[in-house]
Amino acid sequence: MCGIVGYVGPKSTLEVLIGGLRRLEYRGYDSAGVSVIANGQLETRKKAGKLNNLVAEIEAHPLPTAHIGIGHTRWATHGAPTDGNAHPHLGGQTSRLSLIHNGIIENFAELKAELLASGTKFSSETDSEVAAHLIAKAFERTGELVAAFTEVVNRLHGAFTILVIDQDQPDVVLAARRNAPLVIGLGEHENFLGSDVAAFVEHTKRAIAVGQDQIVILRAESVEVIGFDGKPAETEEFEVDWDASAASKGGWPSFMAKEIADQPQSIADTLMGRLSHDGHVSLGDLAALSPEYIKNIDRLVIVACGTASYAGDVGKYAIEKWARIPVSVELSHEFRYRNPIITPNTLVVAISQSGETMDTLMATRYARELGAKVISICNTQGATLARESDATLYTHAGPEVAVASTKALTSQITATYLLALMLAEARGASAPAELARLGKELLKLPAKVTDVIENLPQAMALGTAHADASSVLFLGRNVGFPVAMEGALKLKELAYIHAEGFAAGELKHGPIALIEEGQPVIVIVPSPRDADSLYPKVISNIQEIRARGAKVIAIAEEGDATVGDYAESVVFVPQTEPIFSAVLSVIPLQAFALALSTAKGLDVDQPRNLAKSVTVE
């Protein structure tokens, strides 16, 4: 949510800000704005709608050349998405200070009442403008911008990243972070700030993640980081492991199409250096988990939201089967509000692409307070979740720009496979020969995903053919169940139609009432080769719904000679270990949703009302 960019240096500030905001569009937004200081004067332009609206506004009312500024894309919380509510917000009677904000200021009402009582006039409905006026008034009183800024951020409750510039101090950008992401970019005679590294990766790969309750004093030749208590804070520099080209479409019609096609490489990168040619898993990333601790784990809890929770559901099957540890998958926003039972022998695994999902962060903080160890599966270097976990398994999937997750999901699932195999070996829960066999089969996954990608035109044609559908149902069993739920979620996100995923065994317990003539139903069909296969039961489910007029699309394993007798259409995926099939079978569902949404003329990269990274509870 909300994209934030700050810059000070010799380049054209407007080009840096607009370029950074474009690379942050994936976060989701409904208005945009910039403020710069040039020739001692603060200038601001902002506009509701897409970034192109702001660009048009600047073309109509040009900004002077500047070398310091801040930029923002807003995802509305307090106040509708209007020009007036767009950021930046100006503070003080003379409007010499400009502020941008990501997050929610929970005590804004009492602070606003205080300001109104003193005669302050407001021009927006936002909580953010409250902070702008408070800082401006404190600066007028103290004459010290850093002191005023520090005073005010200590009064704010909730989640926020705040950036401020003031025309009376035209060489410095101030920033503060509490429960919302912020990263510093380090350049030569220039420095940057951003919600994530995408904001400045075109200019530098050197970065510092800003810690909780820290303030940044950013100048062209220096970066100072202090705590909210004013004391110097420790920082750690890291290097971004991808470049700006990875966050461009590269000729694809959408970022989502590109990221679906990226999956063979992103899965291979998740496995790289962790899985040897003989199938042995080595996770140096998780060295914080001692062999003794692993053997004493009595329960594993996966916390995640949305698509990441479905990755956790697949991981549950793998961990329980191979490592023999009981696993529960919890929605992060429910976990800490129901007084869960957590002990020092409970391992908590948090899954988040961005590592900034506020619900997941709060769940893991709660788990650690209860004495649990926390490891995270994350895609973003320097993310808060990674810094607050005992250990992190990075997926190395590269930037995912489309709001609807594709390659992040399959990389997260792959990471849970690695975790399951590592735990199984460390606990002696499965035979070494069996674990080696599984590891070797996992090594084949990127090549099999390539085969799936090459055959996606069929799934996309089916999506296009169903563009007029008002409802699509998804059925699956075992790992096919979370795949079905993820398929339904993708369709809801992208096409704005009713879609639901069910465990196929639940069909007769209620959902079959939804079946009517012509109802499209996508069924994830398990392998008929597995001795414990649920194949006959799923075929029976198909027959039950077809008898009531449903039109079935089956996602089935190559070599299944029977399924075609029961389905109107069949999309085949390569044979693999049954638990690994989740990765292969979910990809045609991504393509189906992409094609259906495209046929409806919708924006597949930035669906309405959605944000890529949900940084508020």
Q: Which residues are catalytic?
A: 2, 612
**Strands of the 569-573 sheet, one edge to the other:** 498-503, 471-476, 520-524, 551-557, 569-573
> Residue 266 in 3-state DSSP?
helix
**Triad 496, 502, 506: Cα angle to 5°:** 150
Q: Which residues pair with 183 in a beta bridge?
A: 194, 209
Angle between helices 581-599 and 480-495 (to 10 degrees): 20
Say how far apart CA 419 and CA 368 lie, in whole Å: 20
Say how far apart CA 193 and CA 5 lie, in whole Å: 5
Gyration radius from the chain CA atoms: 25
Residues 6+ apart with CB under 8 A from 93: none
Distances in whole angstroms, Cα of residue 565 to Cα of each of 419, 456, 554, 562: 38, 22, 11, 6
Q: Is the peptide bond before 607 cis (omega within 30 degrees of 0)?
A: no
Q: Pick from 39, 32, 46, 37: which is nearest to 8 by CA?
A: 37
Return contacts of 445-449, CB within 8 angstroms, 24+ apart: 445/267, 445/271, 445/414, 445/576, 445/580, 445/583, 446/264, 446/265, 446/267, 446/268, 446/271, 447/264, 448/573, 448/574, 448/576, 448/584, 449/263, 449/264, 449/267, 449/410, 449/583, 449/584, 449/587
Phi-psi region of 490 (alpha: psi -120 to 50; beta: other; left: phi over 0): alpha
Answer yes or no: are the C-beta atoms of 226 and 233 closer than 8 Å.
yes
Reported in sequence order, the residue ranges of 121-179 that DSSP labels E, i.e. its strands, are 158-166, 169-178
> Residue 106 in 3-state DSSP?
coil
Q: Please list, residue by residue across 203-225, b when 16 or more beta carbons sit within 10 angstroms of its beta carbon and e when fewer do.
A: bbbbbbbbbbebbbbbbbeebeb
Answer yes or no: are the C-beta atoms of 468 and 573 closer than 8 Å.
no
Phi, psi of 172 (to 5 degrees): -135, 140
Cα separation of the two ends of the chain: 11
Answer yes or no: are the C-beta atoms of 3 and 18 closer than 8 Å.
no
For every residue of 464-497, which 3-state class applies, written as one string?
HHCCCCCEEEEEECCCHHHHHHHHHHHHHHHHCC
Say how far apart CA 407 and CA 399 lie, in whole Å: 9
Q: Which residues pair with 176 in a beta bridge?
A: 162, 215
